[in-house]
């Protein structure tokens, strides 16, 4: 592991903790990627790993997908960024608005994190309210309220200064006005939304939050959430940054959720940085209006850069209903195999997920809530040792996040995952 060890030392000299972003595996050191080849990642020491991470679920077609590489190469000779709009952003916008039912209008940014921020701004501007309800354990980006304080402050009863946010639609919105609820708990959601109706701008919901266990929403939960939000004029923001990869029309369409705003990222950039916020023409109108005073200002030096736009369009054109069907069949088969192997060994492991996504849990029963998915230190250690074992078997499985398939993976590749899991359980009992 000589090159990895060298990079590990250099990384620690320049990055706090040795890395510039969270890595899925640091044990005994991060896997330093040298290149990707379809379903596989090759590290700097020439280890070849079936990549079930795909850059945190970004790559639907695996690494180095030829049509994307060719389109990007052709584009590079024309320049990489302009402050002017290009035909490429319109083409990707047309593709996305034509296939995602709740997205009539769209704006592009650079990351999912940014897109969530813009969706929250839009919801506050549209409703004139400030609070946001969200679900415990769900991840929506790692950021602070970057604009807090930019527009002055107001003092609370104790004289403490609270930052004021910059929304023309909701001039008194203050930072950190957040209500945290339990996913799939329809009773609690009805009560909380009803009691806070006059101050809630939106409910922010990932239809299958990965960090909270990758647990499917129940139909009853979606229906009652939709009804109570609609009754009180509270917008629904679907965060599909990760789960858009579930189907051709996205995850909301799949689970019967009809969001007012929808946030996307990851797969829609074909392997390049991207984020997007879309929604009904009525709500998205807050981004339009007079050039000098839209309700919500949106900048972004690299927003809608042609490289991401072209890569995203080519990747999404290749993401056909047939491709999603095949990934779903493979995902169903793998999830069933893993669950059966656990049962055969009478091992406390279960599987959640849908379509091309799955998560293994060190629990006898598949968890049905965020609380049930939470791991004891011992369970977390079991997942790390599974991930380390699989790595030695040539498989890259994130130990604390959603794993995913990519279209170049064959049934035989996935059988290797099942075989390696079987071997782990046989040797760790
Ligand atoms: N929302 C969800 C559901 C995500 O999974 C992520 C990224 N893992 C984000 C938001 C943030 O996206 P980005 O990393 O592109 O900022």
- Strands (DSSP E) found in 227-366: 235-239, 261-265, 275-279, 350-354, 357-361
Strand ranges of the sheet holding 357-361, from the earlier edge strand across to the other edge: 350-354, 357-361, 403-404
pLDDT in tens, 96-152: 999 999 999 999 999 999 999 999 999 999 998 989 999 998 999 877 655 555 556
Atom of ligand 1 nearest to the CA of 116: 10
Q: Which residues contact 276 (CB under 8 A, 6 or more apart)?
A: 96, 106, 107, 108, 109, 115, 263, 264, 265, 268
CA 248 remoteness from chain centre: 16
Identify the structural domains of the chain with CATH numbers, from first to last: 2-60+320-427 (3.90.1150.10), 66-318 (3.40.640.10)
In angstroms, the CA 311 to CA 332 distance is 29
Report the residue among 20, 56, 113, 264 best suited for mutation to probe ligand 1: largest number of ligand atoms under 8 A from its CB.
113
Q: Which two tokens stand for residue 405?
A: 């398939």
Nearest in space to 54 (alpha carbons), one of 322, 336, 407:
407
pLDDT in tens, 228-248: 999 999 999 999 999 999 999
Average pLDDT over residues 373-402: 94
Atom of ligand 1 nearest to the CA of 265: 15
pLDDT of residue 428: 85
In angstroms, the CA 207 to CA 128 distance is 25
CB 308 within 8 A of CB 284: no
In angstroms, the CA 266 to CA 273 distance is 7
Atom of ligand 1 nearest to the CA of 112: 12
Q: What is the mean pLDDT of the chain?
A: 92
Report the residue among 140, 261, 268 best suited for mutation to probe ligand 1: largest number of ligand atoms under 8 A from its CB.
140
- Strands (DSSP E) found in 8-160: 33-37, 40-43, 48-51, 105-109, 131-135, 153-155
* Confidence check: pLDDT of 28 > 90: no
CB 65 within 8 A of CB 92: no
| Confidence band, pLDDT 50/70/90 cuts, at residue 177 | confident
CA–centroid distance, 401 to ligand 1, in Å, is 12
CA–centroid distance, 274 to ligand 1, in Å, is 10
Report the residue among 20, 112, 357 best suited for mutation to probe ligand 1: largest number of ligand atoms under 8 A from its CB.
112
CB 237 within 8 A of CB 226: no
Pocket of ligand 1 (CB under 6 A): 56, 111-113, 116, 139-141, 206, 239, 241-242, 265, 275
Average pLDDT over residues 200-214: 95
In angstroms, the CA 231 to CA 229 distance is 5
In angstroms, the CA 210 to CA 206 distance is 8
Indicate the pTM of the whole model: 0.94
CA–centroid distance, 403 to ligand 1, in Å, is 14
Burial of 197 (0-12, 13-18, 19+ CB in 10 A): middle
pLDDT of residue 172: 62
Give the ipTM.
Answer: 0.98
In angstroms, the CA 10 to CA 2 distance is 13
* Confidence check: pLDDT of 165 > 70: no
CA gyration radius, the chain: 22
Protein residue closest via CA to atom 12 of ligand 1 = 112
- pLDDT above 70 covers a percentage of the chain that reads 91
Protein residue closest via CA to atom 1 of ligand 1 = 140
Q: Which residues contact 346 (CB under 8 A, 6 or more apart)?
A: none
Output the CA–CA distances (angstroms, integers) from residue 206 to 10, 160, 216, in the order listed: 37, 34, 10
pLDDT in tens, 179-196: 989 999 999 999 999 999
| Confidence band, pLDDT 50/70/90 cuts, at residue 390 | very high
CB 170 within 8 A of CB 132: no
Q: Which two tokens stand for residue 168?
A: 């023309």
CA–centroid distance, 265 to ligand 1, in Å, is 7
Angle, helices 186-195/219-231, rounded to nearest 10 degrees: 10
Output the CA–CA distances (angstroms, integers) from residue 34 to 45, 56, 351, in the order listed: 8, 17, 31
């Amino acid at each position: 592991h000589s090159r990895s060890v060298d990079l590990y030392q250099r990384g620690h000299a320049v990055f706090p903790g040795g890395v510039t972003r969270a890595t899925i595996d640091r044990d005994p050191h991060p896997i330093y990627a040298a290149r990707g080849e379809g379903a596989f990642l090759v590290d700097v020491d020439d280890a070849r790993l079936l990549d079930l991470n795909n850059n945190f679920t970004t790559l639907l077609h695996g690494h180095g997908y030829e049509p994307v590489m060719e389109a990007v190469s052709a584009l590079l000779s024309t320049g990489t960024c302009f402050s002017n709009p290009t035909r490429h952003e319109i083409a990707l916008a047309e593709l996305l608005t034509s296939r995602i039912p709740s997205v009539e209008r769209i704006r592009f940014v650079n990351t999912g994190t940014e897109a969530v921020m813009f969706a929250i701004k839009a919801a506050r501007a549209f409703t004139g309210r400030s609070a946001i309800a969200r679900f415990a354990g769900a991840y929506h980006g790692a950021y602070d309220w970057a604009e807090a304080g930019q527009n002055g402050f107001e003092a609370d009863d104790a004289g403490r200064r609270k930052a004021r946010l910059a929304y023309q639609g909701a001039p008194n919105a203050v930072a950190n006005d957040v209500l945290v609820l339990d996913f799939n708990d329809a009773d609690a959601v009805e009560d909380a939304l009803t009691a806070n109706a006059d101050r809630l701008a939106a409910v922010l919901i990932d239809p299958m939050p990965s960090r909270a266990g990758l647990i499917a929403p129940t139909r009853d939960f979606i229906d009652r959430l939709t009804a109570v939000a609609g009754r009180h004029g509270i917008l629904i923001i679907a965060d599909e940054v990760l789960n858009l990869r579930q189907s051709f029309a996205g995850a909301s369409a799949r689970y019967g959720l009809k969001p007012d705003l929808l946030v996307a990222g990851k797969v829609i950039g074909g392997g390049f940085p991207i984020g997007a916020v879309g929604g009904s023409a009525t709500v998205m109108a807050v981004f339009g209006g007079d050039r000098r005073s839209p309700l919500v200002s949106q900048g972004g030096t690299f927003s809608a850069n042609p490289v991401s736009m072209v890569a995203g369009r080519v990747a999404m054109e290749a993401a056909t209903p047939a491709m999603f069907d095949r990934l779903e069949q493979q995902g169903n088969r793998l999830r069933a195999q893993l669950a059966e192997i656990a049962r055969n060994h009478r091992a406390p492991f279960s599987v959640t997920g849908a379509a091309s996504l799955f998560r293994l849990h060190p629990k006898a029963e598949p968890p049905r809530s965020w609380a049930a998915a939470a791991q004891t230190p011992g369970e977390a250690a079991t997942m790390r040792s599974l991930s380390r074992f699989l790595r030695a078997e040539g498989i890259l499985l994130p130990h604390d996040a959603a794993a995913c398939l990519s279209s170049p993976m064959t049934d035989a590749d996935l059988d290797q995952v099942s075989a390696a899991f079987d071997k782990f359980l046989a040797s760790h009992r």
